[in-house]
């Protein structure tokens, strides 16, 4: 019996390999967190493109999996106890995959909580603030004559970059020598800020040399290079 057949989302996105973890996503900063993690761990999975251009995220099929209508989301047919597990929110998915595979989350309790601390720093600060800056700099908000909203997010993004730059001084990765889910969550957003959003000059990115160094190391990882393009856009 197909363990995924009871999930309505599989009617819109049929699983060709139902024994594999199913990823419903788009290559945005939040989306590629999970595809990069899956590529890094080597866990078999099947990606499905959720297109914003056709409002796939608002379809009844997608909402049946994630009522918050955001990507990414997953179904793991081999979840805890051998039962299918559905999960959304990229941070929660990263923690789940780290624990499932025993990778990229320290076993030592203190280091584990410190890693989760930096993951939450990304989830609660870096992602939302950089995203708002992108809206006011690149998208519809750029047309607003009043630049105070944009400048608010510029200042807060620059503050967050300074925090991260200080953390990276003398470190290879956020947790030091160990590459973790904190890195997988954070660096796609830094990349997006200076790349896709084109806000590097606006936030003075050149003032944060540690971030330039670590971002280059992140982008050089083969699993990152693959994950940044998954799911492939049509």
pLDDT in tens, 4-47: 888 999 999 999 999 999 999 999 999 999 999 999 999 999 99
In this structure, are 90 and 144 located in the same domain? no
Contact 115, 108 (CB under 8 A): no
Q: For the segment 74-97, what is each residue's pLDDT rounded down to a tens digit? A: 999 999 999 999 999 999 999 999
Considering 46, 76, 103, which residue would you say is the last residue of a domain?
103
Q: How many domains does the chain have?
A: 2
Q: What is the DSSP letter of 118?
A: H
In this structure, are 116 and 206 located in the same domain? yes
Residue 2 lies in a domain: no
In this structure, are 126 and 200 located in the same domain? yes
Residue 61, pLDDT > 70, answer yes
In this structure, are 96 and 182 located in the same domain? no
Considering 75, 103, 131, which residue would you say is the last residue of a domain?
103
- Burial of 188: CB neighbours in 10 Å, binned 0-12, 13-18, 19+: buried
Strand order in the sheet with 21-25: 45-49, 21-25, 73-76, 85-88
How much is the average pLDDT of 183-189? 98
Average pLDDT over the chain, rounded to an integer: 97
In this structure, are 117 and 217 located in the same domain? yes
d(CA 214, CA 219) in angstroms, rounded, equals: 9
d(CA 101, CA 37) in angstroms, rounded, equals: 10
Contact 150, 133 (CB under 8 A): yes
pLDDT band at 233 (very low <50, low <70, confident <90, very high): confident
In this structure, are 93 and 150 located in the same domain? no
In this structure, are 188 and 119 located in the same domain? yes
Cis bond leading into 146, ω under 30°? no
pLDDT score at 1: 44
Q: Which of 154, 37, 199, 13 is closest to 105 using CA atoms?
A: 37
Q: What is the CATH number of the domain that holds 216?
A: 1.20.1050.10
Question: Given 3-state DSSP classes, what are the helix, strand and coil percentages for the chain, each rounded to the nearest 5?
Answer: 55, 10, 35
Residue 63, by phi and psi: left (phi above 0), alpha (psi -120 to 50) or beta?
A: alpha
Please state the pTM of the whole predicted model: 0.97
In this structure, are 71 and 91 located in the same domain? yes
Residue numbers of the domain that contains 180: 109-221
How much is the average pLDDT of 167-176? 98
Residue 234, pLDDT > 80, answer no
Provide the b/e sequence for 221-230 (b: ≥16 CB within 10 Å): bebbeebbeb
Residue 209 lies in a domain: yes
In this structure, are 146 and 212 located in the same domain? yes
Structure tokens at 77: 């047919």
How much is the average pLDDT of 182-197? 98
In this structure, are 93 and 113 located in the same domain? no
């Amino acid at each position: 019996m197909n363990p995924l057949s009871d999930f309505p989302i599989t009617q819109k996105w049929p699983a060709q390999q139902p024994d594999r973890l199913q990823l419903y996503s788009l290559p945005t900063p939040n989306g590629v967190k999970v595809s990069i993690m899956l590529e890094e761990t080597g866990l078999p999975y099947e990606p499905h493109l959720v297109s914003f251009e056709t409002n796939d995220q608002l379809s009844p099929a997608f909402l049946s999996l994630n009522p918050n209508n955001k990507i990414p989301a997953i179904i793991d047919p081999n979840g805890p106890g051998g039962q299918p597990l559905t999960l959304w929110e990229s941070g929660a998915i990263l923690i789940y995959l780290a624990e499932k595979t025993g990778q990229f989350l320290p076993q030592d309790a203190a280091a584990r909580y410190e890693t989760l601390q930096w993951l939450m720093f990304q989830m609660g600060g870096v992602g939302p603030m950089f995203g708002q800056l992108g809206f006011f700099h690149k998208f519809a908000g750029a047309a607003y004559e009043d630049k105070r909203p944009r400048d608010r997010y510029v200042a807060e993004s620059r503050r967050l970059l300074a925090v991260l730059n200080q953390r990276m001084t003398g470190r290879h990765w956020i947790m030091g020598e160990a590459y973790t889910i904190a890195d997988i969550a954070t660096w796609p957003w830094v990349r997006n800020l200076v790349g896709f959003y084109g806000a590097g000059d606006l936030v003075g990115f050149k003032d944060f040399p540690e971030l330039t160094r670590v971002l280059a190391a992140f982008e050089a990882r083969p699993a990152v290079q693959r994950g940044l393009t998954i799911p492939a856009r049509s």
